[in-house]
Amino acid sequence: MKVGKHITGILFGSLVIAAAAATPVVMAAGDAEAGKNQAAPCAACHGQDGATPLAPDYPNLAGQNEKYLLRQLQMIKSEERSIPLMAGQLTAKSDQDLADLAAYYASLPSKIGQAQGDDEQIARAEQIYRGGIARKGVAACSACHNPAGVGNAQAGFPRVGGQSLEYTKAQLTAYREKTRATDEIYGGMMRDIAEGLTDTEIALLADYLQGIH
């Protein structure tokens, strides 16, 4: 089953339920301890604690929800999400290994940064995050990512709080330019939303999310 395109106009309650229902049930139960044993090569880029990335545009993994992590790992392995820097990292991993890695990173405590913008910029970003931009059909981010930015673990909607400005900016731009299409099972909802955002709005949101909690 696939949720249709142009979903931003649909009521959120039903959308979240529909999106959750569209998620394939491929969850092998992950074992965090077994994941930890495989995580040494990952730490070189994502940090020992999963939240001290080697470069500012690398994501924090610590405390991200397990369902989201597992889906991304599966798509990175199949190259549906192309991450040249991770080429080869997951090739030899079984589904169980990926589930264990997802459980491990989900079990680590998340880390929050701080927004750098002035009060006016942060207020504008918060307004978009919590209220969307009605005239452009941009949905309120908080409906899916939670008012505190922690995401929705059950639905597999990612935590967005505590990611760096550089990483979030790159992801929102990639959705907008359709170079990231990992939201296909959700009917392309992040691509639809990002389409309505200007570079300035993306930069404001990406800064704001560093410190949301």
Contact 158, 63 (CB under 8 A): no
> Can you read off the two tokens belonging to residue 150?
């922690």
* Closest-CA residue to 148 (of 69, 66, 63): 63
Residues, the chain: 213
Compute the least distance from the CB of residue 15 to ligand HEC, in Å.
Answer: 5
Which amino acid appears at position 142 of this protein?
Answer: S
Please select the residue that binds ligand HEC; options are 3, 30, 51, 61, rule is CB under 6 A.
Answer: 61
Count of positions on this chain that bind ligand HEC (CB under 6 A): 40
Instruction: Provide the minimum distance between the beta carbon of 158 and ligand HEC in the complex, in angstroms, as a whole number.
Output: 4
Q: Are 64 and 131 in contact (CB under 8 A)?
A: no
Q: Judged by CB under 6 A, does residue 150 bind ligand HEC?
A: no
Binding test (CB under 6 A) with ligand HEC, winner from 205, 207, 210, 212: 205
Range in contact with ligand HEC (rule: CB under 6 A) among 20-28, 113-121, 187-195: 187-195
Which tokens hold the place of 81? 């999400």
Distance of CA 211 to the CA centre of its chain: 15
Closest by CA to 56, choosing from 207, 212, 213, is: 207
Smallest gap from residue 213 Cβ to ligand HEC (A): 15
Integer CA distances (angstroms), 25 to 29, 67, 118, 185, in order: 11, 10, 43, 12
The set of residues, in sequence order, having a beta carbon less than 8 Å from that of 147 and lying 6+ positions away, is: 130
Stretch of 22-30, 39-47, 106-114, 116-124 contacting ligand HEC, by CB under 6 A: 39-47
Residues 153-182 that bind ligand HEC (CB under 6 A): 157-158, 160, 168, 170-172, 182
In the complex, minimum distance from the CB of residue 180 to ligand HEC, in angstroms, rounded to a whole number: 6
State the residues that interact with ligand HEC by CB under 6 A. 15, 41-42, 44-46, 58-59, 61, 64, 69, 71-73, 83, 85-86, 89, 101, 128, 138-139, 141, 143-145, 157-158, 160, 168, 170-172, 182-183, 186, 189-190, 193, 205
